[in-house]
Amino acid sequence: MRTCPHRPPCDGCPRFAERGIAPAPRAALNALAHAANLPPPAVIEGTKLYEFRVRARLAIRGRLNSPKLGLFRAGTHRVVHIPNCSVHHRLINRVAGVVRRALVECRVTSYSERAHVGFARYLQVVVERASQRAQVVIVGNGPDLNPFEACFEAICAGLGAELHSLWFNANETPGNTILGTRFQRWCGPESVVERFGESAVFFPPGAFGQSNVEIAGAIIEHIRARIAPGSRVVEFYAGVGAIGLSVLSRVDRIVLNEIAPHSLQGLDSGIAALDEGNARKIEVVRGPAGAACSAAGGADLVIVDPPRKGLDAALLDYLIEHPPGRIAYVSCGMDALLRDAARLTAGGALRLVELTAFNLLPFTEHVETVAWFERR
């Protein structure tokens, strides 16, 4: 069995080296399937149990000459330094090492929550699979990157051709929020680009993206394969369009709804990269899902990929009152999925017809689920 050099005290992988999904979510999904007269759901695993994470956010804390880059211990603000994380892509670990050396050499102070002083707060790294280069974001406790100029030069020199782009993010607000709203680009392209299906998908540094891109791709292909040709599709919580842009060859028309500005920026870039015929199939509805629920009217398929809290109440009510032919519910929150599934099926107009689990984050309690509902 493989061992982790940082356990303990790091508790980021509470089930380290255990295969499959955790017993509690497995039991919950089995019960949900049983209630719908379905077999226990299949569990889709990736080809990698280690070095699968291509996206990471690390806290920066500690002394001037010995900063720590790592994860908070559960329930605390004490950072565990994890220079050789077993689940990170190797380039993430390399970037963290280069950044740590640059902080020390350039005497950049690390952030302290208690005093709300110190410049370097967080490091975000995203590895672009095609180029094997890293998009790097330094989150600073200040309005601009002036205190980091020498440090950024050192990071560029240290990473060389492995650097995709380097960014500063301003977060001057006390609290646990990692990213602020303002980004300043030091060098490199505006977005990491991934390909799902036939389309390029663009991830600016402020946009949400999955850390296990292999399993994210498996979820997208799972949905894509079940879309009837010529369908009219609406996707809520569309993000940068990883699902929606990948299914264009299967649809006659698709409406994509999103609220987050940085995700909309990535979505706009993805649409701009399409040929004219595919771009004409898309309508983007900006704003909260609950306010856009009428876009689902007349859809053959509604795709929802909500945050952990589940569906907006207004959207859930609309889908119950105006059930589409099919719903594909991509869930990252088990409690929300169970609650929303019960509401969707309670009136009898919709029934759960398929359930599949995806081991998106091995060694954790997390499980990603795709639930399919059909109108009776």
Q: Is residue 305 part of a domain?
A: yes
* Shared domain check, 342 and 219: yes
What's the structural domain count of the chain? Answer: 2
Residue type, 305: D
Given 189, 204, 234, which residue is the final one in a domain?
189
Q: Is residue 9 part of a domain?
A: no
* Shared domain check, 288 and 163: no
pLDDT at 1 over 70: no
- For residue 256, give the nearest of 273, 238, 272, 278 by alpha carbon: 238
Q: Is residue 7 part of a domain?
A: no
Q: Is residue 37 part of a domain?
A: yes
- Strand-strand pairing, 120-128 and 79-81: unpaired
Q: Answer yes or no: are the C-beta atoms of 68 and 81 closer than 8 Å.
A: yes
* Shared domain check, 27 and 90: no
Q: How far apart are CA 281 and CA 253, in angstroms?
A: 5
- The whole-number average pLDDT for the span 137-162 is 97
Q: What is the dihedral of CA 282, 285, 289, 292, to 10 degrees?
A: -110
- The whole-number average pLDDT for the span 355-363 is 97
* Shared domain check, 115 and 70: yes
Q: What is the DSSP string of 228-271?
A: PTTEEEEEES-TTSTTGGGGGGGEEEEEEEE--HHHHHHHHHHH
Handedness of CA 227, 233, 237, 243 (dihedral sign): positive
Q: Is residue 195 part of a domain?
A: no
Per-residue confidence (pLDDT) for residue 131, from 0 to 100: 98
Q: Is residue 266 part of a domain?
A: yes
Q: How far apart are CA 86 and CA 49, in angstroms?
A: 9
* Shared domain check, 226 and 167: no
Given 189, 220, 249, which residue is the final one in a domain?
189
* Shared domain check, 329 and 363: yes
* Shared domain check, 241 and 315: yes
State the CATH number of the domain containing residue 36: 3.40.50.150
Q: Answer yes or no: are the C-beta atoms of 321 and 327 closer than 8 Å.
A: no
Q: Is residue 13 part of a domain?
A: no
In whole numbers, what is the pLDDT of the chain averaged over residues?
A: 97
* Helical H segments across 83-148, by residue range: 90-105
Q: Could you report the per-residue pLDDT of 16-30, keeping only the tens digit for each?
A: 999 999 999 999 999
The H or E element containing residue 342 is: helix 334-346
- The whole-number average pLDDT for the span 168-187 is 96
* Shared domain check, 239 and 334: yes
* Shared domain check, 302 and 277: yes
Q: Could you report the per-residue pLDDT of 263-304, keeping only the tens digit for each?
A: 999 999 999 999 999 999 999 999 999 999 999 999 999 999
Q: Could you report the per-residue pLDDT of 209-242, keeping only the tens digit for each?
A: 999 999 999 999 999 999 999 999 999 999 999 9
Residue type, 268: D
Q: Is residue 8 part of a domain?
A: no
- The whole-number average pLDDT for the span 34-42 is 97
Whole-structure pTM value: 0.96
Q: Could you report the per-residue pLDDT of 303-356, keeping only the tens digit for each?
A: 999 999 999 999 999 999 999 999 999 999 999 999 999 999 999 999 999 999
State the CATH number of the domain containing residue 173: 2.40.50.1070
- The whole-number average pLDDT for the span 240-254 is 97
Tokens of 197: 């299906």
Lowest-pLDDT range, 2-16, 50-64, 129-143, 322-336? Answer: 2-16
- The whole-number average pLDDT for the span 345-373 is 97
* Shared domain check, 172 and 155: yes
pLDDT at 65 over 80: yes
Q: How far apart are CA 56 and CA 123, in angstroms?
A: 8
Three-state DSSP state, 19:
coil
* Shared domain check, 362 and 235: yes
Parent domain of 152: 55-189
* Shared domain check, 222 and 371: yes
Phi, psi of 282, rounded to the nearest 5 degrees: -105, 135
> pLDDT tier at 362 (50, 70, 90 boundaries)?
very high
